[in-house]
Amino acid sequence: MTFLFYIFAALAIVGGIGVVLNRNPVSSAFAMIVSFLGLAALYIQLDAYLVGTLQILVYAGAIMVLFLFIIMLLDIKSEEGRQFGVFSTAGAVVVAGGMLLIVAKVLKNFEAGEKALTPLKGAAAETTDVSAIGELLFTTYWFPVQVIGMLLLVATVGVVVLSKRELR
Amino acid sequence: MPAYALEIIVFSLGLVLLLVDAFAKLEDKRSLAWLGMLGLVVVFGLLFKVEPRAADDANVFWRFYSDSRMSLFFKGIAILSTILVLAMAIDYRGLIEKFTAPAEKKAHPQAGLGEFFALPVFACAGLMCMASATNLVSIFVSLEAVTITFYVMVAYMRRNVGSLEAGVKYLILGALSTGFLVYGFAWLYGITGSMDLAEIGAALKSGDVSPTAALFAFSLILVALGFKVGAVPFQMWIPDVYQGAPTPITAFLSVGSKAAGFIVLLRLSAVFLGSEAVAGQVAMAFAVVAGLTLIVGNLTAIPQSNFKRLLAYSSIAHAGFLLTALAAAPRKLEAGQLSSATVVAFYLGAYLLMTLLAFLVVGLVRVHRDSEEIEAYRGLGKSSPFLALALLIAMASLAGVPLTAGFFGKFFVFQLAIQGGHWWLVTLAAIGAGAGFYYYLKVVAAMYWDDPTGAAAKAAAIPVSALTRAAVVTLIVLIVIAGFAPRMILGLIG
Amino acid sequence: MQQEFIPVLIQIVIATGFAVATLIASVLLGKRAKRNQMKDSAYECGMLPIGEGQARFSVKFYLVAMLFVLFDIEVVFLYPWAVSFKRLAVDGGQLVVFFSALSFIVILFVAYLYALRKGALEWKD
């Protein structure tokens, strides 16, 4: 089963690299969808079925559609012809390489995976994970859910004010 | 009355403002701002009537929410800054209407203004939630709610290129910093097994966790929160975003967002500084960041000729002073010594008063003289003496002249640093304060000793509405009171 | 439970494999296309094309997509609630489940009313 992990992880990474290196914005968006597919499969492998399914439904389904609508509003020719200078490429390589080195060093000194996290208590242990998440969301974590409601409300107001052609 | 009723009232106020704007036929949308201010003044009064929770209340809600006096103080900061931002927004409405999208043919001529009065109220509710958050989930969710409201408000004047550019820069860099924050929280949850700050502190103290992993989590969180408060080297967004955003929103960002970022930083650093294994390195990280911020913030403010940009760089400098207070946190608190949390809270309270006063004047000068350059302030002492006096007191307090609130803010920071023996930080802070005197008093000199050039020479006095006059007088009085009797504010912090 | 997702994996592999196989087959079995720049440009009945072929897109598409995303997130929250509601509230008697979901929906209902009144849901200009 672990060979599947390597395949999906490679898919996610290749998709990510494709997002960055593609000239055409539409190709970048499709590479991102491939990366999300790999991520969703990784979530399923971790037994997080709801999160994996929502990754496809919401991220690849709704958010990438939004991205593509925005790309539709851009001028593709000028985006394809965009050049990056030497300094910014060098800076990107240095930052990414530095981050990689730091994470590698931290993982070397840290025995991850040896400790198991405490399993979910209570009824959540016997039901499906969707039901368990529903229980946690609306009993223990009910207050953050209301703040998220406020966040979505503010986003709606922002969308209407910033992108309607004429306001009412 | 329990503490969470305050957020519910503020949020309902925001909902009411939004619905009234959408459904009612208003003559003038300024009444929405008045309604918002009135509601917030009532909430500020109710702040003093909050009952602490019963000791045996075991509802799971209290794992996410703290109603300590420090939280209530920061809620007060959020409410006060929102009230003054709404007052500024009323004066700024002409520019807002000019730069938002045109109204439809049959629509209200002031379309687009109502939301500008409702959004700060939602941001206030978010800031109040952030002040009480004691769980990684609630910290993250309320931080995001506040940040997204600010993205919308910064880019609000969408036909003004500066505002759009500021919004885009803030959005991209803010989203990047959120990525770092979530990654840091994920590591923190992974190594301690809990999202609750108290349990994380206990796990870190017990020594079960690997210090490398804990420091990695801390460094990621420091990157994200450093972005939020404007610490070097994460401060690049501040000048452009502050300069481009509408002036009331710049003031709100400068005070509210910074205060919220600092209370989260205080809570998280207390968790890390409590653990012996990592406390030394965490304190050193804070000291390095504080030192860099002090130097960069103060020295880059000196050559500025645009007043709003100068205030942006100076807000980086003030973040440096606040970080010095964090870096100099004493290991063991002696009797009568102020904790670094108290010093930070006092400094932020004083910072609220003087920054909002300065931005009140900046907004008025922008609306009536159409410029934010320091040249536009020449001769303000003769043409509008009331505003010039207000700006004089604000600048003096920001610089740290004795008998103003800003003086005691800096004094407590210096006291904390000297008591801890952090001589490098003391030296850099002293250099910074000296540089501050120069660039703050540059504007005062332009107001009182330079003659106005060009069109400003024939301009009349700037009209000041009664509301603004009342706000300015209140702020001046509070700054002077805090300068004479800081113990009163310290008593509020508890 | 993970084993139940193996059919999904097989389905993905078959779908991708079919698409890739037909593309490769058409490259291998078909003729090499004789392209030049003149043949690739847009055909305008003999006239040379002027300017960009892309018309300006209206921003209403973005508005609709964005509002869809926001209300989709609301549905995402309501789905686990729907699955666990009977077990918790009806059989278990925990009313906080009902009231917290009610307040969440009311907040987003206000958002909907606002978008409705401001004409964000109207398609015609």
**What pLDDT, on the 0 to 100 scale, is given for residue A120?**
61
The percent of residues above 70 in pLDDT, for chain B, comes to 99
**What pLDDT, on the 0 to 100 scale, is given for residue C53?**
67
Residue type, B407: F
Distance from CA of C94 to the nearest CA of A (A): 8
**B104 interfacial to chain C (CB closer than 8 Å):** yes
Confidence of residue C28 (pLDDT cuts 50, 70, 90): very high
Query: Which one of A74, A103, A137, A162 would you mutate to disrupt binding with B, by most B Cβ within 10 Å of its Cβ?
Result: A162
**What pLDDT, on the 0 to 100 scale, is given for residue A116?**
66
Residue of chain B with shortest Cα separation from A117: B193
Distance from CA of B182 to the nearest CA of C (A): 19
**Lowest-confidence pick of A145-154, B286-295, B435-444, C41-50:** C41-50
**What pLDDT, on the 0 to 100 scale, is given for residue A122?**
57
Give mean pLDDT, residues C15-33: 92
The CA distances from residue A17 to A11, A27, B458, in Å, are 10, 12, 61
The domains located in chain C, with CATH, are 2-117 (1.20.58.1610)
ipTM of the complex: 0.94
**A155 interfacial to chain B (CB closer than 8 Å):** yes
Cβ neighbour number for residue C45 with a 10 Å cutoff: 4
> Over the stretch A141-154, which tens digit does the pLDDT of each residue have?
999 999 999 999 99
Q: Is B475 part of any domain? A: yes
d(CA A84, CA A62): 30
The answer to whether the CB atoms of A161 and B152 lie below 8 A apart is: yes
Structure tokens that stand for B299 in this block:
């020295």
Q: Is B303 part of any domain? A: yes
Alpha helices in chain C (DSSP H): 6-29, 37-40, 60-85, 95-117
The answer to whether the CB atoms of B64 and A162 lie below 8 A apart is: no
Confidence of residue A125 (pLDDT cuts 50, 70, 90): low
The answer to whether the CB atoms of C84 and A134 lie below 8 A apart is: yes
Confidence of residue B420 (pLDDT cuts 50, 70, 90): confident
Q: Is B284 part of any domain? A: yes
The answer to whether the CB atoms of C113 and B15 lie below 8 A apart is: no
For chain A, the domains span 1-80, 84-111, 127-168
The CA distances from residue B271 to B201, B265, B279, in Å, are 5, 10, 9
**What pLDDT, on the 0 to 100 scale, is given for residue A124?**
54
Of A3, A12, A18, the C-alpha closest to A41 is A12
**A69 interfacial to chain C (CB closer than 8 Å):** yes
Q: Is B397 part of any domain? A: yes
Q: Is B75 part of any domain? A: no
Q: How many domains does chain B have?
A: 1
Confidence of residue C125 (pLDDT cuts 50, 70, 90): low
Residues of chain B with Cβ-Cβ distance to C119 below 8 Å are: 104
- pLDDT surpassing 90 at residue C91: no
- Across the interface, which of C77, C84, C112 has its CB nearest the CB of A135? C84
**What pLDDT, on the 0 to 100 scale, is given for residue A121?**
61
Residue in the block written with tokens 């409405």: B93
Q: At what angle are helices B307-327 and B237-244 packed, to 10 degrees?
A: 130
Q: What is the DSSP letter of B338?
A: P
Query: Which one of C104, C105, C106, C108 would you mutate to disrupt binding with A, by most A Cβ within 10 Å of its Cβ?
Result: C104
**What pLDDT, on the 0 to 100 scale, is given for residue B53?**
82
Cβ neighbour number for residue B293 with a 10 Å cutoff: 29
Average pLDDT, chain B: 92
**What pLDDT, on the 0 to 100 scale, is given for residue B433?**
94
In this structure, whether the domain defined by A1-80 belongs to CATH 3.20.20.450 is answered with: no
Distance from CA of A155 to the nearest CA of B (A): 7
Q: At what angle are helices B211-229 and B276-301 packed, to 10 degrees?
A: 20
Cβ neighbour number for residue B287 with a 10 Å cutoff: 21
d(CA B483, CA B492): 15
> Over the stretch A87-107, which tens digit does the pLDDT of each residue have?
989 999 999 999 999 999 888
The CA distances from residue B12 to B15, B161, B259, in Å, are 5, 33, 23
Give mean pLDDT, residues B109-123: 94
Give mean pLDDT, residues A6-29: 94
- pLDDT surpassing 60 at residue B135: yes
How many Å separate Cα C37 from the centre of its chain? 35
B456 lies in which domain range?
Answer: 276-494
Of B475, B376, B374, the C-alpha closest to B83 is B475
Q: Is B124 part of any domain? A: no
Residue in the block written with tokens 């992108």: A163
The answer to whether the CB atoms of A110 and B126 lie below 8 A apart is: no
**B485 interfacial to chain C (CB closer than 8 Å):** no
- pTM comes to 0.94
